[in-house]
Chains A and B, each alone.
Chain A
Amino acid sequence: MDAAPRRTLAAQPLLVAGGISVHYHATAALDEVDLDVHRGEVHAIVGENGAGKSTLLRSIAGAVQLSAGSIRVPRGARIEWVPQETELPPDLRVSEWLFLARELSGKLGWLRQRAMRDAATAALAALGCTAAPSASIRSLPIVQRKQVQLARALSGQPDLLLLDEPTAVLGQAETEALFSAVRAQRERGAGILYVSHRLDEVLALANRVTVLRDGCRVSTDPIAAVDTATLVRRMVGRDVPPRARGDAVLGPTALDLVNVAVAHVRGVTVAARCGEVVGLAGLVGAGRSEVLEGIAGLRPLRSGQLQLAAAPVLVPEDRASKGLVRTLNLRYNLFLPAGGCLLRSTRERSEAREWIARLRIRAPGSEATIDSLSGGNQQKLLLARALRRGPALLLLDEPTAGVDVSVKAEIHGLIRQLATAGAAIVLASSDLPELLALCDRILVLHDGEVAGVLAASEATEPRLAALMTGALGEAVHTQ
Chain B
Amino acid sequence: MNPPARVRLLPHLVSGWSAALILLLEFGFFALLLAPRDGGPHTFANASNIALILKYSSIYGIAAIGAAMIIGAGGIDLAPGAVIALASVVTGDLFVGGGWPLWAACVAGVGVGIGSGALAAVLVTAASLPPFIATLGVMGITRGAAFLITEGRFYDLSARVASGMAPLGVALALWPGVIMLVLTVVFQVLMVRTALGRHILATGGNEVAARYAGVRVGRVKAFVYMSGGALAALSGVVLAVVQGQGKADVASGYELDIIAAAVVGGASLSGGRASVVGAVIGSLIFGVLRNALTQVPRGTFADRLILGVAVLVIVVMDRLATRERN
Known: A364-B4, A364-B8. A327 touches B205 (CB 8 A): yes
Which of B187-217 touch A at CB < 8 Å? 193-195, 198-199, 201-202, 204-206, 208-215
Q: Using a CB–CB distance below 8 Å, which chain A residues touch chain B?
A: 298, 314, 316, 321-329, 332, 335-343, 349, 364-369, 372, 385
B5–A322 CB distance below 8 A: no
Contact of B5 with A325 in the complex, beta carbons under 8 Å:
no
Cross-chain pair count, CB within 8 angstroms: 95
* Closest A residue, CB atoms, query B11: A369
B residues contacting the other copy or chain, number (CB 8 A): 30
Residue in A314, A321, A339, A367 whose CB lies within 8 Å of B208: A321
Are B213 and A367 in touch, CB under 8 angstroms? Answer: no
Cα–Cα, bound, A322→B217 (Å): 14
What is the bound-complex CA distance between A69 and B272, given in angstroms? Answer: 43
In the complex, whether B6 has a CB less than 8 A from a CB of chain A is yes
Give chain B nearest CB distance to A262 CB in angstroms.
16
Q: Which residues of B sit under 8 angstroms from A339, Cβ to Cβ?
A: 195
> B residues within 8 A CB of A336?
198-199, 202, 210, 213-215
CA distance A367 to B193 in the complex (A): 16
Sample 15 A-B pairs with CB under 8 A, ordered by A number.
A316-B209, A322-B208, A323-B209, A325-B210, A327-B206, A328-B198, A329-B9, A337-B199, A341-B195, A343-B195, A343-B198, A365-B5, A365-B8, A368-B8, A385-B213
Q: Which residues of B contact A329 (CB under 8 A)?
A: 8-9, 12
Cβ-neighbour of B212 out of A323, A338, A340, A367 (below 8 A)? A323
CB neighbours of B212 from chain A (8 A)? 298, 314, 316, 322-323
Cβ-neighbour of A327 out of B6, B193, B211, B273 (below 8 A)? B273
Chain A residues within an 8 Å CB radius of B12: 329
Contacts of A342 in B (CB 8 A): 193-194
A372 smallest CB distance to B (angstroms): 7
Q: Select A367's contact among B8, B194, B204, B271, beta carbons within 8 Å.
A: B8
Q: Give the interface of B toward A (CB within 8 A).
A: 1-2, 4-6, 8-9, 12, 193-195, 198-199, 201-202, 204-206, 208-215, 268, 271-273
CB distance from A199 to the nearest CB of B (A): 35
Known pairs A298-B212, A349-B1; list 7 more (Cβ under 8 Å): A325-B272, A327-B271, A327-B273, A337-B214, A338-B199, A343-B198, A367-B9
Contact of A338 among B1, B4, B198 (CB under 8 A): B198
Q: Which residues of A contact B199 (CB under 8 A)?
A: 336-338
Chain B contacts of A335 at CB under 8 A? Answer: 198
Q: Nearest-CB distance from A45 to chain B (Å)?
A: 33
Contacts of B9 in A (CB 8 A): 329, 367
* Cβ contact within 8 Å between A341 and B194: yes
Q: Which of B9, B193, B213, B272 has the most CB of A within 10 A?
A: B213
Given A298-B211, A340-B195, are A325 and B8 also a contact pair (CB < 8 Å)?
no
The CA-CA distance from A466 to B211 in the complex, in Å, is: 36
The verdict on A325 contacting B2 (CB below 8 Å), with A332-B198, A338-B199, A342-B193 known, is no
Chain B: minimal CB distance from A353 (Å): 9
Decide if the interface of chain A is mainly helix, strand, loop or mixed: loop
Least CB distance from B107 to A in Å reads 26
In the complex, which residues of chain A have a beta carbon less than 8 angstroms from the beta carbon of B213?
Answer: 336-337, 385
Given known contacts A364-B8, A367-B5, is B209 in contact with A324 (CB within 8 Å)?
Answer: yes
Q: Which of A335, A364, A365, A385 has the most CB of B within 10 A?
A: A365
Q: Which of A325, A338, A339, A369: most chain B CB closer than 10 A?
A: A325
A325 touches B194 (CB 8 A): no
A365 and B209 in contact, given A332-B202, A343-B198 (Cβ under 8 angstroms)? no
Docked complex Cα distance between A316 and B5 (Å): 27
A201 shortest CB reach to chain B, Å: 34
Query: In the assembly, what is the distance between CA of A323 and CA of B272, in Å?
Result: 15
Partner of A324, one of B8, B206, B271: B206
Pairwise interchain contact A327-B272, C-beta atoms closer than 8 A:
yes
Whole-angstrom distance from the CB of B252 to the nearest CB of chain A?
A: 33
User: When chains A and B are docked, how far (Å) is the Cα of A335 from the Cα of B198?
Assistant: 9
Cβ–Cβ < 8 Å partners of A343 in chain B: 193-195, 198
B6 near A328 with CB under 8 A, answer: no
Which chain B positions have C-beta within 8 A of A369?
Answer: 8
Known A316-B212, A339-B195, A342-B193; contact A365-B272, beta-carbon cutoff 8 A: no
Provide the bound-state CA to CA distance between A340 and B202, in Å: 17
Contact B208 A365 (CB under 8 A): no
Cα(A372)–Cα(B214), bound, Å = 24
Contacts A325-B209, A325-B210, A336-B213 given; indicate if A364 touches B198 (C-beta within 8 A). no
Set of chain A residues within 8 Å of B206, measured between Cβ atoms: 321, 324-327
Residue on A with the closest CB to B4? A364
The CA-CA distance from A387 to B12 in the complex, in Å, is 27
Query: CA–CA, A144 to B246, complex, Å?
Result: 59
Chain A hits for B5, CB < 8 A: 364-368
Q: Which residue of B lies closest to A364 (CB)?
A: B4
- Expressed in whole angstroms, the minimum distance between the Cβ of B12 and any Cβ of chain A is 8
The complex places the Cα of A336 from the Cα of B12 at a distance, in Å, of 18
Most B CB atoms within 10 A — which of A326, A337, A340, A341? A337
Find out whether the CB atom of A328 lies under 8 angstroms from the CB atom of B195: no
CA distance A121 to B307 in the complex (A): 59
Least Cβ–Cβ distance between A418 and chain B, in angstroms: 19
Q: Which residues of A contact B194 (CB under 8 A)?
A: 338, 341-343
Which residue of chain A is the closest to B74 with respect to CB atoms?
A327
A326 contacts B205, C-beta separation under 8 Å? yes
**Chain B nearest CB, measured from A105 CB (Å):** 38
Residues of B within 8 A of A372 (CB): 8
Nearest CB of A to B56, in Å: 33
Q: Is the CB of A337 within 8 A of B193?
A: no
B2 and A365 contact, CB distance less than 8 A: yes
Residues of A within 8 A of B209 (CB): 316, 321-325
**Distance (whole angstroms) from the CB of A410 to the closest CB of chain B:** 22
- The CA-CA distance from A338 to B197 in the complex, in Å, is 9
Ordered nearest first, which 6 A-B pairs have the shortest CB separation?
A365-B5, A327-B272, A327-B205, A338-B195, A325-B205, A364-B4
**Complex Cα spacing A327 to B266, Å:** 13
The smallest beta-carbon distance between B216 and chain A, in angstroms, is 8
A337 to B215, CA, bound (A): 5
CB pair A328–B208 under 8 Å, yes or no, is no
Q: How far is the CB of B81 from chain A (nearest CB, A)?
A: 28
- The 8 Å CB contact of A328, one of B4, B205, B268, is B205
In the bound complex, what is the Cα–Cα distance between A337 and B202 (angstroms)?
9
Bound-complex Cα distance A341 to B214 (A): 17
Give the Cβ gap from B26 to chain A, nearest Cβ, in Å: 28
Chain A residues with Cβ below 8 Å from B215 are: 336-337
In the assembled complex, the Cα of A369 lies from the Cα of B6 at a distance in Å of 11
Nearest to B206 among chain A residues (CB) is A325
CA distance A321 to B212 in the complex (A): 10
Chain B residues with CB under 8 Å of A322's CB are 208-209, 212
B74 → A minimal CB distance (Å): 10
* Whole-angstrom distance between the Cβ of A441 and the nearest chain B Cβ: 26
- Most chain A CB inside 10 Å of its own CB: which residue of B193, B205, B212, B273: B212
Chain B min CB distance to A289 (Å): 11
